[in-house]
Structure 1
Amino acid sequence: MVEVQAAPSATASESMVLSHEVEQFLYREADLLDSWRLPEWLDLFAPTGHYLIPATDKPDGDPSRDLFLVQDDRFLLEQRINSLMKRSAHAEYPHSRTRRMISNVRVTGGSDELIGIAANFTVFRMRSGTVDTYVGHYEHVVERDEQHGFRFMVRRSVLDLDALRPHGKVSIIL
């Protein structure tokens, strides 16, 4: 679990505004991913941001010592995006159609600089007549950014699946 220190107590209206901003950020992000606007989506990451997907058998894993399905820093994430956007990415060309459902969005802590976000997700991936369903929850840390509202410092997608059967892989951004 990614932890951010609790913020000093905010007023109810400040909390509601922040919650709304966070929800809108996640909904915009989902739209970018579902529309395959991956270069724009990459702009939502801070230069030191990380994209993480722990292994299904160790959802609370630590990336410094455990095996992860995806453990990308900003450089590796940019390489992943460049690859997914090319015709030579056979696993995703033509691109899968995806539809994301984001729910139970919560601000889990934060300060003026960093904000913790938790949310549930379901991602439906349609390709070659098959529908794969990925279910899990997010544990994000974002920083405020004037251009985007927020930028990911840590974007962690934790799958609630026992295994990656029947799809066997994660070739899309969760």
Structure 2
Amino acid sequence: MISEKTITDFVYLEADLLDTMQWQAWLDLFHPEGRYWMPLEWQQQDPVLQPSLMYEDLLLMKVRIERLAGERTFSQKPKSRCHHLLQAPQIVACDPAAGIFKARTSFIYTETRGDTLERFSGWASHDLVQVGDDLKIRLKRIDLVNFDAPFGNIQLFM
């Protein structure tokens, strides 16, 4: 039975997998139709008809992970690293009968590579579905506080 604690533990596990660069284990958390979305506008509703900072399906996420893990990826020498500092996830929906599980988590995200250190703040929203006994990410949405600022390259996943 999926509980609010199950959802909270899932959010913390996902951040830990990213922080420890366990890319394949992180990717395995996604539903086959899962998406990773970073809107370009405040309260943006459409990732397809409106421009986004990122809108990736499983294939695009796999390509980015292969690039990050590649030995001949010179833009990743030294490799990028990240750290997620999360507030306790707010459970937006936990309805096992309807199969609806949603959480929203405030975060501070740090990404570093060599001498460069970038910080971002915002909210991560997880729309989850139950597959067997497990939760899978149908949509991970990252809303940045400063979504309209100019950004350098965001190498990793928030």
TM-score, length of structure 2 as denominator length: 0.87
Summarize the alignment of residues 100-139 of structure 1 with structure 2, pairs less than 5 Å apart. 100-112=84-96, 113-139=99-125
Match of 1:53 in 2: 38
Unaligned runs of 5+ in 2: none
In structure 1, the partner of 2:19 is 34
Using the TM superposition, give the Cα deviation of residue 59 of structure 1 relative to its aligned residue in structure 2, in angstroms: 2.8
1:42-81 to 2 correspondences below 5 Å: 42-55=27-40, 58-61=41-44, 62-81=46-65
Quote the sequence identity (%): 23
**Residues 142 and 93 (structure 1), Cα distance of their counterparts in 2 relative to 1, 3 Å cut:** farther
The whole-number CA distance in structure 2 between the counterparts of 1:122 and 1:39 is: 23
Q: CA deviation at 1:26?
A: 1.1
- In structure 1, how many angstroms separate the alpha carbons of the residues matched to 2:77 and 2:28? 23
Confirm or deny: 8 A CA contact 1:19 1:106 kept in the other structure: no
CA deviation vs aligned residue, 1:41-69 (integer Å, no higher than 9, x gap): 000000010110111xx132211211111
In structure 2, do the counterparts of structure 1 residues 63 and 26 end up closer, same or farther at CA, with 3 Å as the change threshold? same
What is the root-mean-square deviation of aligned Cα atoms in Å? 2.1
CA offset at residue 164 of structure 1? 4.5
For residues 30 and 91 of structure 1, what CA distance do their matches in structure 2 show? Answer: 23
Which position in structure 2 is the counterpart of 1:24?
A: 9
| Partners of 2:4 and 2:94 within 8 A in 1 | no
Deviation of residue 125 (structure 1)? 1.4
Question: 1:102-146 deviations in whole A, cap 9, x for unaligned?
Answer: 114111124322211111111111222232101110122001234
Classify 1:117/1:132 alpha carbon distance in 2 versus 1 (closer, same or farther; 3 Å): same
Compared with structure 1, are the counterparts of its residues 87 and 118 closer, same or farther at alpha carbon in structure 2 (3 Å cutoff)?
same
CA distance 1:38–1:158, change in 2 (3 Å): same
Kindly provide the CA deviation profile for residues 53-104 of structure 1, in whole angstroms up to 9, marking residues without a partner as x. Answer: 111xx13221121111111111222222112211343443332221111114
Separation (CA, whole Å) in 1 of partners of 2:22 and 2:67? 13
| Residue number in structure 2 paired with 1:170 | 154
1:102 maps to a residue whose letter is L
Aligned length: 155
Q: What are the ranges of 5 or more consecutive residues in structure 1 without an aligned counterpart?
A: 1-13
- Tell me the TM-score normalized by structure 1: 0.79
